Structures are given as C-alpha cells and as structure tokens.
Amino acid sequence: MTLLVLVAILLLETFATHFMQYRQHDLVSQYYFKWSNFLTNNNIRQPWVIIGLTLIIPLAVTYLLLANHQGFFGLVFEFTVTVLVLFWLLGPKSLNQFYKELATESDDTPHSLCKKLIRYAHYGYLGVIIWYVLLGPLAAVMYRMVYQLAVKNDQDESEEVIATHWDTVWHLVDWIPTRITALLLLLTGNFANGAATLKDQALSVDADNRELLEDVGLAAGDIDEAEADALTQTRHSIERGLILLTVLVALISFFQL
C-alpha cells in the first residue's frame, strides 16, 4: 500500500493544489502552547517529560485511526486516512509554489536561494516521505511535529532551555532522512562531485545535518553560482530525487508481492 499512498499524494500535489490551504501547521504550535502550559501549571517542568507527553498524544490518535481495520472497507478507510494525514504533513506550500516565490527574490545570492529550496524540499517533503516508507505514518507524524516544534522553540527566546532539548531530538530524528536525501540527490546528480562530502560526514553523529544536506545538494546539482538558472537546476535535482525514491518504493513493493 505504500506505493499507492505515494502515488495518491503525488496526484494530490499536482491536481489538488486548492486543498493546500488546509495545511495549517500552526495548529501544531498552538497545540504545544496549550499543552505545555497545562503541564507547567501542574508542576510538570522537566523538558524530556514535556517533549514525550507532547508527542505521545498525536501519535496515539493517529495509531487509533489506523489500527485494526479488517476487510475491504477497512483497507479503504486506512488508505484514505493515511493519504490525508501524509498530505497534511507535507509542505505547507507546494514545492512548485515555493520555487516560484524564491525565483522572484533578489536579495539573496543564487547559492543561498538554492539552499533554501533544498531545505524546504527535505523538511517539507523528502524527510516526511522517507520516514513513512521506513516506519509508516506514525514516524512521519513524529518527524513533522518535531521539526515544527524545534523551529518554534528556537524562535522563542523564553524557551531557551527546552529549545535545546527539542534541537537534540530534531538532530536525531533528522539524522537518517538527511543522509538518504543526500544519497538520492547524489544518485540523480553529479555523484563524483558530492560523494566525498557525504562520505566524510555520513556516519558522524555530530555532523550538522543541515550543512551536510546543503553541501551535498549543491555539489550533486553541480550548482555554479554564476549561472542564472542555478535555482532551476536545483529544482530539477530535487524532482529527480523524488522520482528515484518513488521508483525504489515501487521495486521493493514488486519484489514483496
């Protein structure tokens, strides 16, 4: 069913762009704000406890929605819920829309714009899809929630203590997807140009995931800052990576039949 879900999501991304207005990821921050205040008011202030209790409720709800469905209609229900959940987790803007917005910016250098596109594609699309393929929808929900809340706490100076803990969780959660995304970009781009960068940091737990992603992405795309179409090249590199991931899932599904 993994392949069918990915195909359905790609079709929605292409032909149902008007539904993207419902991707209100700020709801995650609102939920966290109310929940963390409730915990604090009840003398629960340990950062790791707050993080664990924050994540467990959405994961439990998702599990209950998807668990123990029997028969044809149960399978259809599970498929529909999975597609809707994953579609909501992506973005929030479509990759095409974000690309067009970057293309109109004139303040940043081409390399800076390319890095923004690489990060957005990874955090908003590839990272979510990779965790779904590896461990299912619960892992995808966890990935997106941790990303949203790590960013939110980094922006809030009053949450400096717990922000450090969220950053630690985010680093661990994003460690595997970053390297898979980097490998996908290498396999569909200039492998020789970026292989050394990935090889040097691939197994390092301390390596900065964001820097690794950006460096490999630019190298694999063979991006020259002097080229006027650097952003377009980066977009094509990302699209090829998405296609390769879908093909790999298709092959795995075929051999499991």
Here the tokens at position 168 are: 């630690």
Output the pTM of the full model: 0.94
Q: What is the DSSP letter of 126?
A: I
Sole residue written with tokens 């664990």:
52
| pLDDT tens, per residue, the chain with 257 residues | 899 999 999 999 988 888 888 898 999 999 999 999 999 999 999 999 999 999 999 999 999 999 888 899 999 999 999 999 999 999 999 999 999 999 998 778 888 999 999 999 999 999 999 999 999 999 999 999 999 999 998 887 667 789 999 999 999 999 999 999 999 999 999 898 889 889 888 999 999 999 999 999 999 988 776 666 889 999 999 999 999 999 999 998 887 65
Question: Could you tell me the residue range of the domain that residue 235 belongs to?
Answer: 2-256
Sole residue written with tokens 């090829």:
240
Q: Number of folded domains in the chain? A: 1
Residues 6+ positions from 111 with CB-CB distance below 8 Å: 218, 223, 225, 230
Angle between helices 71-89 and 2-15 (to 10 degrees): 50
* Amino acid at site 23: R
